[in-house]
Protein backbone atom coordinates (compact mmCIF):
# COMPACT_ATOMS: atom_id res chain seq x y z
CA UNK A 1 0.00 0.00 0.00
CA UNK A 2 1.17 3.50 -0.83
CA UNK A 3 0.54 6.81 0.83
CA UNK A 4 0.91 10.36 -0.44
CA UNK A 5 0.30 13.81 0.92
CA UNK A 6 -2.31 15.33 -1.38
CA UNK A 7 -3.03 18.66 0.32
CA UNK A 8 -1.42 20.81 2.95
CA UNK A 9 -2.22 24.07 4.70
CA UNK A 10 -0.26 25.22 7.72
CA UNK A 11 -0.31 22.39 10.23
CA UNK A 12 -3.00 20.44 8.37
CA UNK A 13 -2.24 17.66 5.90
CA UNK A 14 -4.37 15.30 3.85
CA UNK A 15 -2.82 11.91 3.18
CA UNK A 16 -4.26 9.25 0.90
CA UNK A 17 -3.52 5.59 1.62
CA UNK A 18 -4.34 3.14 -1.15
CA UNK A 19 -3.20 1.47 -4.37
CA UNK A 20 -2.28 -1.79 -2.68
CA UNK A 21 -0.45 -4.11 -5.12
CA UNK A 22 -0.86 -7.06 -2.71
CA UNK A 23 -4.57 -6.61 -2.32
CA UNK A 24 -6.73 -9.72 -2.45
CA UNK A 25 -8.31 -9.38 -5.92
CA UNK A 26 -11.68 -10.37 -4.46
CA UNK A 27 -11.63 -7.21 -2.37
CA UNK A 28 -12.56 -3.92 -4.02
CA UNK A 29 -9.75 -1.38 -4.03
CA UNK A 30 -10.32 1.49 -1.63
CA UNK A 31 -8.73 4.82 -0.75
CA UNK A 32 -8.38 5.73 2.88
CA UNK A 33 -7.76 9.36 3.80
CA UNK A 34 -6.01 10.62 6.89
CA UNK A 35 -6.25 14.24 7.97
CA UNK A 36 -3.50 15.27 10.36
CA UNK A 37 -4.01 18.62 12.07
CA UNK A 38 -1.68 19.86 14.79
CA UNK A 39 -0.53 16.28 15.29
CA UNK A 40 -4.07 14.95 15.77
CA UNK A 41 -5.75 12.64 13.30
CA UNK A 42 -9.07 12.01 11.61
CA UNK A 43 -9.36 8.89 9.48
CA UNK A 44 -11.96 8.98 6.70
CA UNK A 45 -13.56 5.69 5.66
CA UNK A 46 -10.95 3.54 7.47
CA UNK A 47 -11.73 0.51 5.28
CA UNK A 48 -12.56 -3.14 5.70
CA UNK A 49 -11.14 -5.84 7.98
CA UNK A 50 -9.32 -7.52 5.10
CA UNK A 51 -7.18 -4.51 4.18
CA UNK A 52 -6.72 -3.27 7.74
CA UNK A 53 -3.16 -4.60 8.28
CA UNK A 54 -1.86 -2.78 5.21
CA UNK A 55 -3.68 0.43 5.99
CA UNK A 56 -2.40 0.37 9.55
CA UNK A 57 1.15 -0.51 8.49
CA UNK A 58 1.17 2.43 6.06
CA UNK A 59 -0.45 4.78 8.53
CA UNK A 60 2.33 4.13 11.07
CA UNK A 61 4.56 6.40 8.97
CA UNK A 62 2.36 9.44 9.45
CA UNK A 63 0.81 9.63 12.89
CA UNK A 64 1.05 8.07 16.34
CA UNK A 65 -1.93 5.73 16.53
CA UNK A 66 -3.10 7.07 19.86
CA UNK A 67 -3.53 10.46 18.16
CA UNK A 68 -6.34 9.23 15.91
CA UNK A 69 -9.19 11.18 17.45
CA UNK A 70 -11.93 10.63 14.91
CA UNK A 71 -13.02 7.79 12.66
CA UNK A 72 -15.43 9.00 10.01
CA UNK A 73 -17.68 6.68 8.02
CA UNK A 74 -19.31 8.23 4.93
CA UNK A 75 -21.87 5.42 5.16
CA UNK A 76 -22.34 1.94 6.55
CA UNK A 77 -20.80 -0.43 3.99
CA UNK A 78 -18.23 -3.06 5.08
CA UNK A 79 -15.51 -1.67 2.80
CA UNK A 80 -15.98 1.64 4.61
CA UNK A 81 -15.93 0.77 8.28
CA UNK A 82 -15.87 -2.97 9.07
CA UNK A 83 -12.36 -2.46 10.48
CA UNK A 84 -13.87 -0.35 13.29
CA UNK A 85 -13.15 -2.82 16.16
CA UNK A 86 -9.52 -3.12 15.09
CA UNK A 87 -9.05 0.66 15.26
CA UNK A 88 -10.88 0.79 18.58
CA UNK A 89 -8.60 -1.94 19.93
CA UNK A 90 -5.70 0.41 19.30
CA UNK A 91 -7.47 3.56 20.37
CA UNK A 92 -10.64 3.03 22.44
CA UNK A 93 -11.04 6.79 22.90
CA UNK A 94 -11.50 7.49 19.19
CA UNK A 95 -14.95 8.85 18.33
CA UNK A 96 -16.81 7.48 15.32
CA UNK A 97 -18.87 9.90 13.23
CA UNK A 98 -21.46 8.68 10.78
CA UNK A 99 -24.98 9.47 9.64
CA UNK A 100 -27.50 9.29 12.47
CA UNK A 101 -29.21 6.63 10.37
CA UNK A 102 -26.32 4.22 10.76
CA UNK A 103 -25.03 4.53 14.33
CA UNK A 104 -26.99 1.48 15.47
CA UNK A 105 -25.90 -0.48 12.40
CA UNK A 106 -22.24 0.40 12.45
CA UNK A 107 -22.16 -0.49 16.15
CA UNK A 108 -22.60 -4.11 14.96
CA UNK A 109 -19.04 -3.94 13.62
CA UNK A 110 -17.74 -2.92 17.03
CA UNK A 111 -17.92 -6.55 18.32
CA UNK A 112 -18.88 -5.86 21.91
CA UNK A 113 -16.90 -2.69 22.36
CA UNK A 114 -18.57 0.44 23.62
CA UNK A 115 -17.90 2.50 20.54
CA UNK A 116 -18.22 6.22 21.08
CA UNK A 117 -20.54 7.15 18.23
CA UNK A 118 -21.80 10.51 17.05
CA UNK A 119 -24.75 10.45 14.68
CA UNK A 120 -24.48 13.29 12.17
CA UNK A 121 -27.84 15.01 11.62
CA UNK A 122 -29.24 14.89 8.09
CA UNK A 123 -28.40 18.54 7.50
CA UNK A 124 -24.70 17.94 8.29
CA UNK A 125 -22.48 19.49 10.92
CA UNK A 126 -19.05 20.87 11.65
CA UNK A 127 -16.60 18.35 13.08
CA UNK A 128 -13.64 19.61 15.04
CA UNK A 129 -10.58 17.43 15.49
CA UNK A 130 -9.86 17.49 19.25
CA UNK A 131 -6.52 18.99 20.17
CA UNK A 132 -6.38 20.99 16.95
CA UNK A 133 -8.02 24.04 15.45
CA UNK A 134 -9.20 22.06 12.39
CA UNK A 135 -12.89 22.20 11.57
CA UNK A 136 -14.29 19.94 8.88
CA UNK A 137 -17.70 20.21 7.31
CA UNK A 138 -19.91 17.11 6.93
CA UNK A 139 -21.76 17.80 3.67
CA UNK A 140 -25.02 15.86 3.07
CA UNK A 141 -24.70 13.28 0.29
CA UNK A 142 -27.79 11.24 1.07
CA UNK A 143 -28.75 8.59 -1.50
CA UNK A 144 -25.30 8.98 -3.09
CA UNK A 145 -25.28 6.06 -2.75
CA UNK A 146 -26.42 5.24 0.78
CA UNK A 147 -29.59 6.72 2.24
CA UNK A 148 -27.53 8.24 5.07
CA UNK A 149 -24.36 9.53 3.44
CA UNK A 150 -21.90 12.37 4.01
CA UNK A 151 -18.94 13.95 2.28
CA UNK A 152 -16.26 15.83 4.22
CA UNK A 153 -15.04 19.26 3.19
CA UNK A 154 -11.96 21.06 4.46
CA UNK A 155 -12.13 24.79 3.77
CA UNK A 156 -8.47 25.37 4.57
CA UNK A 157 -7.21 23.29 1.65
CA UNK A 158 -10.37 23.14 -0.46
CA UNK A 159 -10.30 19.34 -0.28
CA UNK A 160 -13.54 17.39 -0.51
CA UNK A 161 -13.78 13.73 0.42
CA UNK A 162 -16.68 12.52 -1.72
CA UNK A 163 -17.07 8.89 -0.62
CA UNK A 164 -18.56 6.86 -3.47
CA UNK A 165 -19.31 9.89 -5.64
CA UNK A 166 -16.73 10.09 -8.40
CA UNK A 167 -15.65 6.56 -7.56
CA UNK A 168 -14.10 4.46 -10.31
CA UNK A 169 -13.13 0.83 -10.61
CA UNK A 170 -9.53 1.12 -11.75
CA UNK A 171 -7.88 -1.60 -13.83
CA UNK A 172 -4.88 -1.98 -11.48
CA UNK A 173 -2.84 -0.36 -8.73
CA UNK A 174 -0.63 1.39 -11.29
CA UNK A 175 -3.47 3.69 -12.32
CA UNK A 176 -2.76 7.38 -11.84
CA UNK A 177 -3.44 8.99 -8.48
CA UNK A 178 -5.07 11.99 -10.15
CA UNK A 179 -7.56 12.47 -12.96
CA UNK A 180 -6.56 15.42 -15.08
CA UNK A 181 -8.92 14.78 -17.95
CA UNK A 182 -12.24 13.13 -17.43
CA UNK A 183 -12.80 11.71 -20.92
CA UNK A 184 -10.84 8.49 -20.42
CA UNK A 185 -12.06 8.12 -16.88
CA UNK A 186 -15.81 8.13 -17.53
CA UNK A 187 -15.88 4.52 -18.67
CA UNK A 188 -14.41 3.50 -15.29
CA UNK A 189 -17.04 5.47 -13.37
CA UNK A 190 -20.22 5.09 -15.41
CA UNK A 191 -21.39 1.65 -14.31
CA UNK A 192 -20.58 2.44 -10.72
CA UNK A 193 -22.77 5.53 -10.65
CA UNK A 194 -25.67 4.32 -12.77
CA UNK A 195 -26.14 1.13 -10.78
CA UNK A 196 -25.10 2.15 -7.25
CA UNK A 197 -26.67 5.59 -7.08
CA UNK A 198 -30.44 5.41 -6.61
CA UNK A 199 -31.53 9.04 -7.02
CA UNK A 200 -30.83 11.56 -9.79
CA UNK A 201 -32.49 14.29 -7.71
CA UNK A 202 -30.20 13.56 -4.75
CA UNK A 203 -27.09 13.42 -6.94
CA UNK A 204 -27.88 16.77 -8.56
CA UNK A 205 -28.54 18.26 -5.14
CA UNK A 206 -25.09 17.13 -4.03
CA UNK A 207 -23.51 18.60 -7.18
CA UNK A 208 -25.19 21.95 -6.45
CA UNK A 209 -23.88 21.94 -2.86
CA UNK A 210 -20.38 21.08 -4.06
CA UNK A 211 -20.37 23.73 -6.78
CA UNK A 212 -21.10 26.27 -4.03
CA UNK A 213 -18.04 25.06 -2.11
CA UNK A 214 -15.68 25.24 -5.13
CA UNK A 215 -13.31 22.49 -4.01
CA UNK A 216 -9.80 22.24 -5.40
CA UNK A 217 -9.65 18.46 -4.94
CA UNK A 218 -12.41 15.86 -4.99
CA UNK A 219 -11.28 12.63 -3.35
CA UNK A 220 -13.42 9.52 -3.85
CA UNK A 221 -13.18 6.33 -1.83
CA UNK A 222 -12.45 4.27 -4.94
CA UNK A 223 -10.34 5.34 -7.90
CA UNK A 224 -8.44 8.51 -8.69
CA UNK A 225 -8.58 12.02 -7.25
CA UNK A 226 -10.04 14.86 -9.31
CA UNK A 227 -8.17 18.14 -9.61
CA UNK A 228 -7.98 21.14 -11.90
CA UNK A 229 -10.27 21.05 -14.91
CA UNK A 230 -11.38 17.51 -14.07
CA UNK A 231 -13.41 18.84 -11.15
CA UNK A 232 -15.78 20.92 -13.27
CA UNK A 233 -15.92 18.10 -15.83
CA UNK A 234 -16.85 15.63 -13.11
CA UNK A 235 -19.60 17.87 -11.73
CA UNK A 236 -20.99 18.47 -15.23
CA UNK A 237 -20.91 14.75 -15.95
CA UNK A 238 -22.66 13.93 -12.68
CA UNK A 239 -25.30 16.56 -13.50
CA UNK A 240 -25.94 14.86 -16.83
CA UNK A 241 -26.59 11.42 -15.35
CA UNK A 242 -29.91 9.68 -14.90
CA UNK A 243 -28.97 7.25 -12.17
CA UNK A 244 -30.84 4.42 -10.45
CA UNK A 245 -30.78 2.31 -13.57
CA UNK A 246 -30.92 -1.41 -13.95
CA UNK A 247 -31.07 -3.23 -17.24
CA UNK A 248 -32.92 -6.46 -16.51
CA UNK A 249 -32.49 -7.66 -20.08
CA UNK A 250 -36.21 -7.43 -20.79
CA UNK A 251 -37.45 -5.39 -23.78
CA UNK A 252 -37.33 -1.71 -22.90
CA UNK A 253 -40.65 -0.35 -21.70
CA UNK A 254 -41.90 3.04 -22.85
CA UNK A 255 -39.98 5.80 -21.11
CA UNK A 256 -37.39 3.41 -19.70
CA UNK A 257 -33.81 4.56 -20.10
CA UNK A 258 -30.96 2.13 -20.09
CA UNK A 259 -27.35 2.98 -19.35
CA UNK A 260 -25.37 3.82 -22.45
Partner 1 sequence: MPQPAVPIAAFTAHDVEAVLAAQFAHQVDITRLFSVGVDILNAARALDTMGFELQLLARNGVVQAAQLNHGADAAHAGEGQTLLALAEILSHCPRQIAPEVAGLGAHCRAIASHTATCTSLARRHTQHLKSLLLVLGREGGDAGAATLAAQLETVRLGEEAGLVVLQRVADGLQIEPVVRTNIRLIAARCSAALRELERLLEETGTCLRETHGMLHGIGRIAGTVNYLGINVAIEAAHCDRRGENFRQLAADIQATVDGFEQKLLAIRLSAERGRVLLKALGA
Q: How far is the CB of 140 from partner 1 (least distance, A)?
A: 33
Select the span of 53-61, 127-135, 176-184, 185-193 touching partner 1 (CB under 8 A): 53-61
Out of 4, 111, 135, 214, which residue is the one contacting partner 1 (CB under 8 A)?
111
Out of 4, 66, 93, 228, which residue is the one contacting partner 1 (CB under 8 A)?
66
Query: Closest by alpha carbon to 73, among 51, 105, 113?
Result: 105
| Cβ atoms of 209 and 153 closer than 8 Å | no
Residues 129-188, interacting with partner 1 (CB under 8 A): none
Q: How far is the CB of 235 from partner 1 (least distance, A)?
A: 37
> Per rule CB under 8 A, is residue 53 in the interface with partner 1?
yes
| Cβ atoms of 39 and 49 closer than 8 Å | no
Q: How far is the CB of 159 from partner 1 (least distance, A)?
A: 22
Starting at the edge strand found earlier in the chain, the sheet holding 135-140 runs 125-128, 135-140, 150-154, 159-163, 217-220, 225-227, 178-179
Whichever of 61 and 126 has its CB closer to partner 1, that residue is: 61
Terminus-to-terminus CA distance in the chain, angstroms? Answer: 34
Residues 74-93, interacting with partner 1 (CB under 8 A): 85-86, 89-90
* CA angle, 62 then 65 then 70, to 5°: 95
> Per rule CB under 8 A, is residue 5 in the interface with partner 1?
no
Q: How far is the CB of 26 from partner 1 (least distance, A)?
A: 17
Out of 62, 116, 173, 211, which residue is the one contacting partner 1 (CB under 8 A)?
62
Q: How does 203-235 read in b/e, with b if 16+ C-beta sit within 10 Å?
A: bbbbbeebeeeebebbbbbbbbbbbeebbebbb
> Per rule CB under 8 A, is residue 94 in the interface with partner 1?
no
Q: Count of alpha carbons within 13 Å of 99, Cβ hemisphere only?
A: 24
Q: Which residues bind partner 1 (CB under 8 A)?
A: 49, 52-54, 56-57, 59-66, 85-86, 89-90, 111-112
Amino acid sequence: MKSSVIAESGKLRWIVLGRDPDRNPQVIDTNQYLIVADGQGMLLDPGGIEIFPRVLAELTRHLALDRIRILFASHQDPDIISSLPLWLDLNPEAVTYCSRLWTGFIAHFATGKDARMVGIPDSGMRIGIPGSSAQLLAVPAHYCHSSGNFSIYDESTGTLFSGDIGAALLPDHEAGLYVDDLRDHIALMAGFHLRWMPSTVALRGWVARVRALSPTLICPQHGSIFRGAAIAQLLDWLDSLEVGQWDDGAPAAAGKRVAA
